[in-house]
C-alpha cells in the first residue's frame, strides 16, 4: 500500500499507461525510464509493453511474473502449451493481433484470455463488446504470446489460402446481377477476394467431381462444405467459421436474393460459364439455422437431358415400353420415386425426344430446372397465384400437344391433368410414391375417380439411382447361396454362370463406385389392369397382375443390374429396400 502511495505522490509529468505505472510501483522501472520508454513507443507507434521488453529494460518473464503477482492472476507458460488445443473462433483474429491477446477457453458467460498486460482496459472493453462476455485474464510472457498470436493468425490465413488456391482451374463468368435492395456496405463486404475465390473453386470442384449438390453448413464452432457425389454426401472442406456470413452474402448476391434477409428461407438461381459454349445452372436454397444460414446449391447440367435414353440405363424391354408410350398422341405418363432419384432427367429426356418443330410443348415446374430451347417453360409462383392448376388451365387455352407438370400435388391439379390427357394431349408428370402399383392407389386416395384413372394413365415408371461399380477396381464377391436367395434370386438363376461384384476403391473412383445407374419399374396400364382399377382393386392386386405381364419390380430390376455386374448387391438392397 505504501508503494502505491509513493507512486501517487511522485506522479509523472506524462500520462503513463497502466502497465508503466504498475512497473514503477513494483520498483521495476524508474519514473524517468518509464517516461522515456513511453515517448519511444509513441514515436515508433508500438505498444508500451513491446518497447519495455524489446529495449531490455524489463524482461518479458519479469513483466509477466510482476503482473501475475500484482493482479493475483494465474501465470501460464505458453512454451508448454499445445497450439493445437487452442479453441477456434472464440475471438476475432484482428482483435487478437491488435491487442496481443489469445482466447484460451470459455466458461459459462466468461472468456478466459491470455495477455501480457492486464492493465489494458481498452482491450478488455473491446472483447466484452464483441463477444458479449466477461473477461478473465491469464498472464503470459509477451514474447511467447506474440509468437503464438502470430502463428494462430497465420494458420487461419494459410487455411484459407490452401482452400482457395489448390489446383489449376479457370473461372467462367458468373451471371451476377446484384439486388438493388442491398446496401453498399453489405455489397462491399461480400466482395472479399478469398471468399469469392473459395466459392468459385467449390463450384468448379463440384462440377469436376460430378457432384449433384453442394452443402454449406455452419455450426457453433465449425463450418463444413459437403458435396453429394453419386448420391453420397462427402465432406470436402472445413473453412474458418469467420467466413460464413461473407460466403452466404456472396452466394445471395450472385443468386439475386435479398442479402439483408436472414430470417426466412430463400430460393434463387445462378450460372457458371465453364467453357466457351458450356454454361452450368445452379439452384440455390438458403435455410436459417441456429448458427447461421445453411445453403444448398444444386447443380443443373442441361446436357444431362440430352444424353439420350440409352444413357439412363433402361433395359431393352423397358425402353421399348417407354418409347411406345411417349409415341402415343394422348394419355398420361407418370414418373415416380423419391427426391434425387432422377425423375426430372427422365422427363426431360422424353421431352427431348418429342421436341420437334411441329410440336407445341409446355411445362409447369417449381422451379424449372433444365432449360430446353423449343419448350415453353413456366415457373410456378404460389404467392402470385400461378399454381400448377392455374398454369395447366392456361396451357389448355394455347393449343398444346404435350404438357409436362412438375408434380401432381393436389386434386385440382390432378383433375385438370387427367382432363387434358383425356382430350387429346400427352401429359407427363411425377408423383412421390414407392413403386408403380402404389401410384394408382395414391391417385385414388387423392379423390380421383377410378374411371378417370383407368381412362387416362397409360404408363407408370418407378425409378431409383444406384451407385455404379468402378470398372477398374471391382472384384468378385463371395456371397453365400442363402444370402442370394434371401435377396430375391430364384434357385434357377443361381446357376454359377454369372458373378456378383463388390466395391474395392482406387484412384479413379469414390470408394469403389463411379457414377450411377438407373433401376426402373416400367409398368404399362393394360386392359386387365384397367379392370382392376375400375373395381377399386388394391396396389397388391395391380402388382400381381404386373408380374404376370412380365413387369419387373424395382428389387428384381436391381438384382438384374447386380447380375450384370453394374452395381453391388448391397447397393441394390439399400436403394430398393423392399
Across the chain, mean pLDDT equals 83
pLDDT at 188: 46
pLDDT value at 208 more than 90: no
Q: CA-to-CA distance for 106 and 204, rounded, in angstroms?
A: 38
Q: What is the pLDDT of residues 427-447, one digit of tens each?
A: 999 988 888 999 988 899 889
Binned at pLDDT 50, 70 and 90, residue 167 comes out as: very low
* Whether the model pTM is above 0.85: no
pLDDT value at 575 more than 60: yes
Binned at pLDDT 50, 70 and 90, residue 153 comes out as: low
Binned at pLDDT 50, 70 and 90, residue 91 comes out as: confident
Where do the H-state alpha helices sit in 380-498?
388-396, 411-422, 436-445, 450-456, 481-487
Binned at pLDDT 50, 70 and 90, residue 303 comes out as: low
CB 339 within 8 A of CB 253: no
pLDDT value at 178 more than 90: no
According to the per-residue pLDDT averaged within each range, which of 19-33, 131-145, 539-553 is highest? 539-553
pLDDT value at 182 more than 50: no
According to the per-residue pLDDT averaged within each range, which of 8-22, 37-51, 177-191 is highest? 37-51
Lowest mean pLDDT among 238-252, 307-321, 353-367, 464-478: 307-321
Percentage above 90 pLDDT, the chain: 26
pLDDT value at 329 more than 50: yes
Binned at pLDDT 50, 70 and 90, residue 195 comes out as: confident
pLDDT at 98: 84
**Which SS3 state, helix, strand or coil, does residue 270 take?**
strand
Counting Cα atoms < 13 Å in the Cβ hemisphere of 508 gives 8
pLDDT at 3: 44
CA dihedral 152, 153, 157, 163 (to 10 degrees): 30
Lowest mean pLDDT among 20-24, 339-343, 486-490: 339-343
Residue 577 has a CB neighbour count (10 Å cut-off) of 10
pLDDT at 168: 36
Q: CA-to-CA distance for 256 and 175, rounded, in angstroms?
A: 10
Could you tell me the CA-to-CA distances from 258 to 32, 214, 293, 325, 537 in Å, in that order?
60, 20, 13, 44, 50
Q: What is the pLDDT of residues 496-550, one digit of tens each?
A: 788 889 998 887 787 888 888 899 999 999 999 999 999 988 999 999 999 999 9
What are all long-range contacts of 93-96, with beta carbons under 8 Å and residues at least 24 apart? Answer: 93/152, 93/153, 93/156, 93/242, 95/123, 95/126, 95/127, 95/130, 96/149, 96/152, 96/153
Binned at pLDDT 50, 70 and 90, residue 174 comes out as: very low
Q: Which residue has the higher pLDDT, 168 or 2?
A: 2
What is the pLDDT averaged over residues 265-290?
83
Gap between the terminal Cα atoms of the chain: 83
CB 478 within 8 A of CB 484: no
pLDDT at 304: 63
DSSP string, 323-358: HHHHTSSSEEEEEE--TTSSHHHHHHHHHHHH--TT
CA dihedral 316, 322, 324, 330 (to 10 degrees): 180
pLDDT at 187: 46
pLDDT at 149: 82
Question: Residue 475: which of 508, 499, 496 has the closest Cα?
Answer: 499
Helix axes 193-208, 244-254, angle to 10 degrees: 70
pLDDT at 5: 47
Region of residue 89 (left: phi > 0; alpha: psi -120 to 50; beta: else): left
Residue 160 bridge partners (DSSP): none
Question: Residue 20: which of 102, 117, 107 has the closest Cα?
Answer: 117
DSSP string, 111-125: EEEEES-TT-HHHHH
pLDDT at 157: 53
Helix (H) / strand (E) containing 272: strand 266-275
Handedness of CA 381, 383, 386, 390 (dihedral sign): positive
Could you tell me the CA-to-CA distances from 354 to 317, 361, 367, 536 in Å, in that order?
20, 9, 21, 33
Domains of the chain: 59-162 (3.30.300.160), 194-300 (3.30.450.90), 304-464+518-552 (3.40.50.300)
Binned at pLDDT 50, 70 and 90, residue 57 comes out as: confident
Binned at pLDDT 50, 70 and 90, residue 155 comes out as: low
Helix, strand, coil fractions of the chain, as percent rounded to 5: 45, 20, 35
Q: CA-to-CA distance for 499 and 387, rounded, in angstroms?
A: 50
pLDDT value at 265 more than 60: yes
- The set of residues, in sequence order, having a beta carbon less than 8 Å from that of 30 and lying 6+ positions away, is 24
pLDDT at 12: 45
Percentage above 70 pLDDT, the chain: 87
pLDDT value at 101 more than 50: yes
Question: Residue 60: which of 116, 20, 103, 98 has the closest Cα?
Answer: 116
pLDDT value at 184 more than 60: no
pLDDT at 8: 44
Amino acid at each position: 500500500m505504501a508503494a502505491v502511495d509513493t507512486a501517487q505522490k511522485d506522479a509523472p509529468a506524462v500520462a503513463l499507461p497502466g502497465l508503466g505505472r504498475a512497473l514503477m510501483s513494483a520498483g521495476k522501472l524508474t519514473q524517468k525510464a518509464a517516461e522515456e520508454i513511453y515517448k519511444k513507443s509513441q514515436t515508433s507507434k508500438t505498444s508500451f509493453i513491446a518497447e519495455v521488453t524489446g529495449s531490455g529494460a524489463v524482461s518479458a518473464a519479469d513483466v509477466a511474473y510482476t503482473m501475475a503477482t500484482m493482479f493475483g492472476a494465474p501465470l501460464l507458460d505458453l512454451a508448454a502449451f499445445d497450439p493445437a488445443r487452442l479453441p477456434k473462433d472464440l475471438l476475432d483474429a484482428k482483435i487478437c493481433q491488435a491487442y496481443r491477446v489469445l482466447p484460451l477457453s470459455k466458461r459459462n458467460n466468461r472468456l478466459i484470455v491470455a495477455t501480457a498486460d492486464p492493465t489494458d482496459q481498452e482491450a478488455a472493453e473491446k472483447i466484452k463488446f464483441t463477444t458479449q462476455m466477461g473477461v478473465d485474464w491469464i498472464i503470459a510472457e509477451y514474447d511467447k504470446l506474440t509468437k503464438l498470436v502470430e502463428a494462430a493468425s497465420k494458420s487461419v490465413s494459410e487455411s484459407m489460402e490452401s482452400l482457395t488456391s489448390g489446383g489449376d482451374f479457370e473461372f467462367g463468368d458468373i451471371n451476377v446481377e446484384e439486388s438493388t435492395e442491398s446496401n453498399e456496405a453489405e455489397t462491399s463486404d461480400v466482395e472479399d477476394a478469398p471468399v469469392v475465390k473459395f466459392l468459385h473453386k467449390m463450384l468448379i470442384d463440384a462440377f469436376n467431381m460430378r457432384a449433384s449438390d453442394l452443402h454449406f453448413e455452419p455450426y457453433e464452432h465449425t463450418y463444413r462444405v459437403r458435396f453429394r457425389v453419386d448420391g453420397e454426401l462427402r465432406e470436402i472442406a472445413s473453412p474458418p467459421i469467420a467466413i460464413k456470413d461473407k460466403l452466404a452474402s456472396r452466394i445471395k448476391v450472385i443468386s439475386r436474393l435479398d442479402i439483408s434477409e436472414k430470417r426466412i428461407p430463400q430460393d434463387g438461381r445462378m450460372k457458371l460459364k465453364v467453357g466457351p459454349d458450356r454454361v452450368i445452372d445452379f439452384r440455390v436454397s438458403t435455410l436459417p439455422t441456429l448458427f447461421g444460414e445453411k445453403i444448398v446449391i444444386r447443380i443443373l447440367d442441361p446436357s444431362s437431358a440430352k444424353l439420350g435414353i440409352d444413357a439412363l440405363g433402361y433395359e431393352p424391354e423397358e425402353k421399348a415400353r417407354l418409347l411406345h408410350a411417349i409415341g402415343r398422341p394422348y394419355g398420361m405418363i407418370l414418373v415416380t420415386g423419391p427426391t434425387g432419384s432422377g425423375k426430372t432427367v427422365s422427363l426431360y429426356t422424353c421431352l427431348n425426344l418429342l421436341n420437334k418443330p411441329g410440336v407445341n410443348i409446355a411445362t409447369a415446374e417449381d422451379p424449372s430446372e433444365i432449360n430446353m430451347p423449343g419448350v415453353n417453360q413456366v415457373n410456378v409462383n404460389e404467392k402470385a397465384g400461378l399454381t400448377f392448376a392455374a398454369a395447366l388451365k392456361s396451357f389448355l387455352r394455347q393449343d398444346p400437344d404435350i404438357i409436362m407438370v412438375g408434380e401432381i400435388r393436389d386434386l385440382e391439379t390432378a383433375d385438370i391433368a387427367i382432363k387434358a390427357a383425356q382430350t387429346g394431349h400427352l401429359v407427363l408428370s411425377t408423383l412421390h410414391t414407392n413403386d408403380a402399383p402404389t401410384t394408382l392407389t395414391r391417385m385414388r386416395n387423392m379423390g380421383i375417380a377410378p374411371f378417370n384413372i383407368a381412362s387416362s394413365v397409360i404408363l407408370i415408371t418407378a425409378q431409383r439411382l444406384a451407385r455404379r461399380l468402378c470398372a477398374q477396381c471391382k472384384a468378385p464377391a463371395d456371397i453365400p447361396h442363402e444370402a442370394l436367395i434371401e435377396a430375391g434370386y430364384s434357385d434357377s438363376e443361381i446357376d454359377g454362370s454369372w458373378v456378383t461384384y463388390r466395391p474395392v476403391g482406387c484412384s479413379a473412383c469414390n470408394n469403389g463406385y463411379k457414377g450411377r445407374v438407373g433401376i426402373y419399374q416400367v409398368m404399362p396400364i393394360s386392359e386387365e389392369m384397367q379392370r382392376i382399377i375400375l373395381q377399386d382393386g388394391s396396389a397388391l392386386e395391380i402388382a400381381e397382375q404386373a408380374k404376370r405381364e412380365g413387369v419387373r419390380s424395382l428389387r428384381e430390376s436391381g438384382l438384374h443390374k447386380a447380375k450384370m455386374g453394374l452395381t453391388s448387391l448391397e447397393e441394390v438392397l439399400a436403394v430398393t429396400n423392399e
